[in-house]
Chain A
């Protein structure tokens, strides 16, 4: 716990908070584009790029590895799109293929690099499950900056995102450039994935994109509030998970972040004010009771009428 009080730890906490917020917001876009699984495929697809980025420089250099991850994830996205449009294979199958092939390739490269001199101390393994504590001040600064860019992109074009996600054909008729919107969407999705993989890891990064947005869905009927709540849930889960992972030496961050956001999801699905299980059950019970009373009243009135 003592690391809580170090300046570095505070920076790391801040970075997972902002990362969680950014991915919560992007998660809402992915949710309404029906592409939650896409984020999972792309985060797995980032791994080979991370390893190649490391191998090229020969040491851990975050900007290079982030660039490698971005190239690799974008390549994965392009391949998914290519498979979908040029063959009979459906998108979910294409995503499954790319996810496993890229991840397999990444692990293979990782094993090779780890055997080389210096490779085994590189901390490359932490990119699989995430190790927020391994981030240095410079990494945190880069992450904060990129996450802020992502958040800004969602905020300044908020009305355009809403239109684009709800009715892209109508948007096109109004003159919105859907191709540009798609490209920006893919860019911010990849950006949030690549800045998140050091803290959360390639395997679990998708959870931070998917879970906060579905949790937020249980609390609101407004897109604006869904995005805000998703950001709060994502940020909260990011911070909580990081805090817990600092309690033990070498504990990975990713799994704790996922557990924290899953806890929020369970709370949301049970207690959520919109379509939450509890609200639904209470409403059903109230309706049943009303129905029974109505039937009783009617039958007693009929009996009364018959006797009179």
Chain B
């Protein structure tokens, strides 16, 4: 049993892949928090709590939900938009929810515009620029998501959540698997349920220093 835990960084100049540190992916019906397998229900609560605690809770939708390449993708996109609306409705003054797309994975030079997009090859530009302290990946191809989640863990203190349509992501601090429209909306329900019960983590020395 590994002692390694997947925690907000900045972790290391080159943080390890969590899978190489003995972290396993959850089975169907499960999720993981910090690399520890938990029932999915517990992960909804924790993800909602992290969103409501964050100063800049942000959803990063990727190409698999940004483009209406099939009916299910279009429905998921609508669910993501609804989740964002719920988040805006549930946060307190001083919190700033954002919805920033990862439209593709092309390396872009000299650099991306961090106000309008995030790129898996240098995600920290967007995290740092917008002072994002909690984010959720959804609709990002698994390899690109892991690439990005690891870089974020290495260089920022941002709390990362993955709503993965496949087997989940060890490199996120919290990961769901088999994401569906229902699961996205269920997270929204949990955010509504916890509205007003979570104290936001407004500007602190730690977040301003590491962002």
User: Does A pair with B?
Assistant: no
Chain B residues near A (Cβ < 8 Å): none
Chain A residues near B (Cβ < 8 Å): none
